[in-house]
Structure 1
Amino acid sequence: MKKTLVALAALATIGTASAQSSVTLFGVLDASISGYSNKAEDKRYPTLTNPDYLNVGTVTTSRTGLSNSGYTASRLGFRGTEDLGGGMAASFWLEAGLGNDQGTAGKNGLFFNRRSTLSLSGPFGEVRLGRDYTPTFWNDTVFDPFGTNGVGTSLIYSANNGYMGNMNYDRASNSVGYFLPPNLGGFYGQLMYSFHEQVKYSPGDATPHDQLNNSRTGGYVGGRFGYANGPLDLAASYGSSTVGDDFYDGLTKKVDTWNLGGSYDFGPVKLFGEYSQAKYKVSDSNPVIDINDPITGLRSFNKPSTKGWLIGATAPVGAGLIRVSYSQVKYDLDQTQLLNPGAGFDPIFNPYVSVANPKANKFAVGYVHNLSKRTALYATVARVSNKDGAGLSVNSDLGFAQSYRPALSAVDAALTPKTSTGYDIGIRHTF
């Protein structure tokens, strides 16, 4: 009898523990027929010095095929929570991107490339460890009607993702994150610090001469703070990512990003907006003489940046949703060139002048029809117009033609990106 009671007590204990824990398998499968077309043009014409030049017009690169993640990013994930009592919980989240059109998983050698975190939460908020979204990414995806997916993705994200080697733009590995508790009257916030995990030598002179990126590259620090109440949602974020450093050259290179976004749901229509700026900075702790700089004699560095903005809207129509957005990005290359590149510098007759700054704009429109809570059909079309050398497209994997030599010409024509158009027609299922 005693053994029976002990066994029943053990089973009850196991049952209680199971009730306090949960593990969920979840995912998204998104497949679309997608087409992309990029046009580049020849902007040179016959001149007095080159009267025989033959303008080649435009050259188009295009591709059509089966794609994924046109509406929602395809993924496979596992998440779980254990109730620790007293309002505290331990949680994990493992999420891998899926290329369901080809049967692939993960990206860049990472299986759980989308998220891989272990966290502890309670009345104090949540501490999260691992690979996770950066604070600066959230405004891009939350305040974009297309959610940074498919051909409709705003130019803000397209221009800044990977900008000047910024490997921490949308996600950061080796990170420690903190999230405010959800009971602050609509206020929310996030802080993140990502370890660079590079080898550091002490004393610094012990650093090998060929050891670049020796102590800081890969690190990230950032935060996001916002307010959401009823139809209103506003948030601002800032992040700094170290993209390169060299002890012996005395250089540390960073990309600093900040953005401000918001949305307001009027019912018949929901409006979105975002402004963003990213800037490349070089800290020089070892200035040296540079004989190639005719003005100061000191080495100088460009500080290129991008500025972008977006306005958009969604409007529910029965079981469907109309989506529309317009975004624009302008680069500041912070570059100069001689007025007459073929001659030497002269402060009056041949000075340095600023190089024209590239810019681009994009219009996207789409429709989503919900067949059920888990399954939807969608269609999106988008067009990008590039100016002054910008080379943004609706799909980063399809480049612009760079040069072309026609049969009757003896020289290659240098081509400049002009327009990019694309479409996604697909189906998305969540589970």
Structure 2
Amino acid sequence: MKKALIAMTAAAAASAASGVASAQSTSNVTLYGIVDAGVEVISNVPGSGGAEGTAVRLNSGNLSGSRWGLRGTEDLGGGLKGIFVLESGFDVDTGTSGQGNRLFGRQAYVGLQGGWGAVTLGRQQNALYDLFGAFDPMGVGPRYSLNSVDSAFNGRADNAVKYTGKFGGLTATGFYSFGRDNTEIPGETKVGRNFGGGLSYAAGGFSVGAAYDQFQGGTVALQDRAAKRAAVGAAYAFGGAKVFAGYRWLRDDGVSSATAATTRSNVYWAGAQYRFTPAFQLTGAAYYNDTRNSDADPWMFVLSADYSLSKRTDVYLNVGYSKNKSGSALGLNGVGTVVAGENQTGATIGLRHRF
């Protein structure tokens, strides 16, 4: 009896080990990341006590946000996969975590993927972020880009359920967040609610896309106020050149505070890239923010030169100018990063490495 029991136990252990080995052989986990840092010289930077002046500083994340991450897939059979992403943003200049000091502030989700698309759960990018990197000449980078004009193009939401599908040249995405900034309040389902979606299509050198994003105020007092955005963009590549154009509509009913007024604005942008050699590319872009019922309508102009030292490492020079009027405060690093009403000139020389 003892011998039979031992034999059965050994067989069960061997079977379990075989199952684990089989599962491991169909799983894949990848470590990846980007490290981007540069030295910037920039004018009219606000300081403490009302001071202002030219700053010379080291910045993390110029063309791309610095990050490291883990992504994994497991083949579950029948065309179904389990997937996950854990992506951590950080500042190279200080070594600290980004996105409000979150460990995985860029993305953190788990889901299932099949021929029908993917459904994922966790902290995730909104539809503007998913689609509009393809329609901004500067790729919606952290600085000197469309993200400087409207940070919602780098938007993310906690507590989100998301669908993503790719069918040939068509990409579709939609998401719903129960609490955009971890603001879930029992019995108050509108507080911090965020939802949106979008479609893009690419064929040959032409691509076009549209997206919508809406979020409610983050307190009970503000939950009936909403910030609504809609955007369309297009790009066309021919030879060594690529041209871009886009438009974003905004209606913000004052989600930031009880005293905030409704804001309406339209953002327009256009630009072009040209690859002179396989290693060298030049990009130019212009952005205009038209605020309704106001003369505070700033412009931002950017010129970027990028040279690839290898497939993973490149050096770049970004030069920018923001023109403000009537108290607008659009800076090259975002709204409020320049003294209100003042123009700003800046330049960054940097190094980026992907792994």
Which residue among 307, 310, 313 is the counterpart of 1:372? Answer: 310
1:252-296 per-residue CA deviation (whole Å, 9 max, x = no partner) reads 11000000011111122011111001111379xxxxxxxxxxxxx
In structure 1, runs of 5+ residues without a counterpart are: 41-58, 163-167, 202-213, 284-299, 335-355, 402-415
CA distance in 1, matches of 2:253, 2:194: 14
Percentage of pairs with the same residue: 28
- Secondary structure at 1:359's aligned position in 2? coil
**Correspondence list, 1:150-165, <5 A:** 150-154=142-146, 157-161=147-151
- Secondary structure at 1:105's aligned position in 2? coil
1:44-71 per-residue CA deviation (whole Å, 9 max, x = no partner) reads xxxxxxxxxxxxxxx8522111111112
The residue number in structure 1 matching 2:162 is: 177
Letter of the 1:312 counterpart: G
The residue number in structure 1 matching 2:4 is: none
2:63/2:143 contact within 8 Å kept: no
2:129/2:154 contact within 8 Å kept: yes
Which residue among 330, 343, 347 is the counterpart of 1:419? Answer: 343
Letter of the 2:283 counterpart: R
C-alpha spacing 1:60/1:121, structure 2 compared with 1 (3 Å) = same
The residue number in structure 2 matching 1:24 is: 30
1:188/1:226 contact within 8 Å kept: yes
The residue number in structure 1 matching 2:176 is: 193
1:353-396 per-residue CA deviation (whole Å, 9 max, x = no partner) reads xxx43101111111111111101111110000012221110124
C-alpha spacing 1:149/1:301, structure 2 compared with 1 (3 Å) = closer
Is 1:303 paired with 2:262?
yes
- Secondary structure at 2:129's aligned position in 1? helix
Is 1:279 paired with 2:264?
no
2:149/2:335 contact within 8 Å kept: no
1:79/1:92 contact within 8 Å kept: yes
CA distance in 2, matches of 1:188, 1:378: 31
Which residue among 263, 275, 282 is the counterpart of 1:322? Answer: 282
Letter of the 1:386 counterpart: N
Letter of the 1:314 counterpart: Q
Is 1:36 paired with 2:36?
no
Is 1:92 paired with 2:64?
no
TM-score, normalisation: structure 1: 0.72
C-alpha spacing 1:246/1:23, structure 2 compared with 1 (3 Å) = closer
1:331 Cα deviation from its structure 2 partner: 1.2
Which residue among 210, 216, 229 is the counterpart of 2:203? Answer: 229
1:430 Cα deviation from its structure 2 partner: 0.9
- Secondary structure at 1:273's aligned position in 2? strand
1:384-421 per-residue CA deviation (whole Å, 9 max, x = no partner) reads 001222111012497444xxxxxxxxxxxxxx522111
2:27/2:74 contact within 8 Å kept: yes
Q: Name the larger-Rg structure.
A: 1
The residue number in structure 1 matching 2:295 is: 357
CA distance in 2, matches of 1:126, 1:220: 19
CA distance in 2, matches of 1:420, 1:282: 27
C-alpha spacing 1:39/1:374, structure 2 compared with 1 (3 Å) = closer
CA distance in 1, matches of 2:18, 2:251: 59
1:109-155 per-residue CA deviation (whole Å, 9 max, x = no partner) reads 3111100011101122110111111012334432112122254213x
2:272/2:284 contact within 8 Å kept: yes
**Correspondence list, 1:326-337, <5 A:** 326-332=286-292, 334=293
1:14 Cα deviation from its structure 2 partner: 3.9
Aligned residue pair count: 337
C-alpha spacing 1:111/1:25, structure 2 compared with 1 (3 Å) = same
1:191 Cα deviation from its structure 2 partner: 0.6
C-alpha spacing 1:26/1:185, structure 2 compared with 1 (3 Å) = closer
Structure 1 window deviating more from structure 2 (140-149 vs 72-81): it is 140-149
**Correspondence list, 1:7-22, <5 A:** 13-22=19-28
- Secondary structure at 2:63's aligned position in 1? coil
Letter of the 2:354 counterpart: T
**Correspondence list, 1:332-347, <5 A:** 332=292, 334=293
1:23 Cα deviation from its structure 2 partner: 0.9
2:191/2:223 contact within 8 Å kept: no
Is 1:390 paired with 2:328?
yes
The residue number in structure 2 matching 1:337 is: none
CA distance in 1, matches of 2:45, 2:35: 31
The residue number in structure 2 matching 1:408 is: none
CA distance in 1, matches of 2:208, 2:312: 28
Structure 1 window deviating more from structure 2 (318-327 vs 11-20): it is 11-20
CA distance in 2, matches of 1:370, 1:91: 32
- Secondary structure at 1:199's aligned position in 2? coil
CA distance in 2, matches of 1:282, 1:84: 46
TM-score, normalisation: structure 2: 0.86
Which residue among 70, 91, 116 is the counterpart of 2:62? Answer: 70
- RMSD after superposition: 2.8
CA distance in 2, matches of 1:381, 1:96: 28
Which residue among 211, 224, 240 is the counterpart of 2:214? Answer: 240
The residue number in structure 2 matching 1:259 is: 231
1:86 Cα deviation from its structure 2 partner: 0.6
1:151/1:382 contact within 8 Å kept: no
1:13 Cα deviation from its structure 2 partner: 4.2
Bigger relative contact order (CA 8 A; separation at least 6): 1
